[in-house]
């Protein structure tokens, strides 16, 4: 009783020069494609998330209403559903899973959208965090195909500081000998817990802890919250987390043959109507980076989420107030 479908990509040559053989793009859809095929929305997943984690943004009465829209949620490579270290057969399995960029992801998603559904225009591409990064990629790579974008809590290019934060996350995990360079048979739980604990400092803001906002998430204390966060990562495969982390670190809408690293040109090519929504207190996708990006996008508005929840402000459904703020902007954009 799978709640998803598999799009068979065949052999995909990646930017890294490696081939993702017999690649699979797992996706789910909500609602129906109308006869004019103009009500499709693409909503890529975020780091460590699968399509189910996007669902709190989808529903009757919300912007992403399946009664009105055909919503496609493609799972990012490495997330354990689409081709990933954990589900790819040898010799491309585990530590040998080839590096996949967000460009690679979006090119494969493009095939899904056009070949599987015959969709030539997307009413909206939207996403959270790495989903926002994929959203920016769509805007820059297929400007004629994307009418609107709403990336939240993510940037068009991974900043140097963001890269360094991820270095810390990665190194905490790989410091565990049980990781065995990716060739573990039993999970490196100590490293996964370390990764989670490092992450906990970054994923919310200083003010989130000052105000003890974690109590709203069902944590009884600070330490209880930290262990809850460990629990989220213990269910993840270490190589999968590292594969997606690599994709994130390389994130750059201009790192491809279309733009050859000319970041301003790539931003300038995003003709979609856009609302770009950082969280005001995000520590690794700080609003300043989006503010700069928006200045180079022709039809974009910069609209920070007024929240002390840091990056977690954007996590689908976690904080009702921030979720409503994002949903409201999505509604506004969709009727504009």
Q: What residues are labeled active site? A: 129, 282, 311
Residue with smaller CB distance to a copy of itself, 152 or 284: 284
Which C-beta is closer to a copy of itself: that of 105 or that of 162?
Answer: 162
Q: Taking the complex as a whole, how short is the minimal distance between the CB of residue 226 and a copy of itself, in angstroms?
A: 6
The two beta strands, 148-152 and 273-276, are: parallel
Only one residue has tokens 């690649």, namely 23
Taking the complex as a whole, the smallest distance from the CB of residue 177 to a copy of itself amounts, in Å, to 4
Find the shortest distance in angstroms from Cβ 123 to a copy of itself.
33
If the CB atoms of residues 128 and 214 are measured against a copy of itself, the closer one turns out to be 214
Contact of 157 with 251, CB cutoff 8 Å: yes
What is the smallest separation between the CB atom of 189 and a copy of itself, expressed in angstroms?
A: 10
Of 63 and 194, which has the nearer Cβ to a copy of itself? 194
Q: What is the C-alpha radius of gyration for the chain, rounded to an integer number of angstroms?
A: 19
Q: Which two tokens stand for residue 3?
A: 């709640």
Tell me how far, at minimum, the Cβ of 70 lies from a copy of itself, in Å.
38
3-state SS of the chain? CCCCEEEEEEEEECCCCCEEEEEEEEEEEECCCCCCCCCEEECCCCCCCCHHHHHHHECCCCCECCCCCEEEEECCCCCCCCCCCCCCCCCCCHHHCCCCCHHHHHHHHHHHHHHHCCCCCECEEEEECHHHHHHHHHHHHCCCCECEEEEECCCCECCHHHHHHHHHHHHHHHCCHHHHHHCCCCCCHHHHHHHHHHHHHHCCCHHHHHCCHHHHHCCCCHHHHHHHHHHHHHCCCHHHHHHHHHHHHCCECCCCCCCCCCHHHHHHCCCCEEEEECECCCCCCCHHHHHHHHHCCCCEEECCECCCCHHHHHCCCCCHHHHHHHHHHHHHHHCC
Binding site for a copy of itself (CB under 8 A): 159-161, 163-165, 167-169, 171-178, 190-191, 193-194, 197-202, 205-210, 212, 222, 226, 283-284, 286, 288-289
The least CB distance from residue 319 to a copy of itself, in Å, is 17
Report residue 122: phi and psi, to 5°: -110, 130
Cα-to-chain-centroid distance, residue 141: 17
Tokens 């290019």 found at: 157
Cβ proximity to a copy of itself, 32 vs 212, nearer residue: 212
Q: Whose Cβ is closer to a copy of itself: residue 59's or residue 168's? A: 168
In whole angstroms, give the CA distance from residue 318 to residue 309.
10
Of the pair 95, 283, the CB lying nearest a copy of itself is at 283
The nearest distance, CB 239 to a copy of itself, in angstroms, is 17
């Amino acid at each position: 009783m799978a709640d998803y479908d598999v799009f068979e990509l065949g052999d995909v040559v990646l930017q890294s020069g490696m081939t993702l053989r017999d690649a699979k793009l797992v996706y789910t859809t909500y609602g129906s494609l109308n006869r004019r095929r103009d009500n499709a929305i693409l909503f890529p997943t975020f780091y460590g998330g699968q399509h189910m984690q996007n669902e709190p943004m989808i529903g009757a009465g919300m912007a992403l209403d399946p009664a009105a829209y055909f919503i496609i949620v493609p799972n990012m490579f490495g997330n354990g559903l689409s081709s990933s270290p954990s589900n790819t057969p040898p010799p491309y399995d585990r530590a040998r899973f080839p590096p996949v960029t967000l460009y690679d992801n979006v090119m494969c998603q493009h095939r899904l959208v056009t070949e599987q559904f015959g969709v030539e225009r997307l009413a909206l591409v939207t996403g959270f965090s790495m989903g926002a990064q994929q959203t920016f990629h769509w805007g820059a790579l297929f400007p004629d195909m994307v009418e609107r974008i709403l990336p939240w809590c993510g940037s068009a290019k991974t900043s140097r500081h963001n890269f360094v934060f991820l270095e810390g996350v990665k190194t905490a995990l790989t410091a565990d000998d049980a990781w065995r360079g990716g060739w573990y048979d039993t999970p490196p739980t100590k490293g996964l817990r370390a990764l989670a604990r490092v992450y906990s400092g970054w994923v919310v803001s200083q003010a989130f802890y000052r105000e003890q906002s974690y109590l709203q998430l069902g944590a009884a204390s600070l330490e209880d919250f930290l262990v809850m966060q460990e629990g989220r990562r213990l269910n993840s495969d270490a190589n999968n987390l590292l594969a997606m982390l690599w994709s994130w670190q390389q994130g750059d809408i201009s790192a491809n043959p279309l733009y050859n690293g000319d970041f301003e040109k790539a931003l300038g090519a995003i003709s979609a109507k856009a609302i770009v929504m950082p969280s005001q207190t995000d520590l690794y996708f700080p609003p300043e980076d989006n503010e700069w990006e928006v200045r180079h996008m022709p039809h974009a508005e910069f609209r920070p989420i007024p929240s002390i929840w840091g990056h977690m402000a954007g996590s689908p459904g976690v904080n009702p107030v921030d979720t409503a703020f994002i949903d409201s902007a999505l509604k506004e954009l969709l009727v504009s």
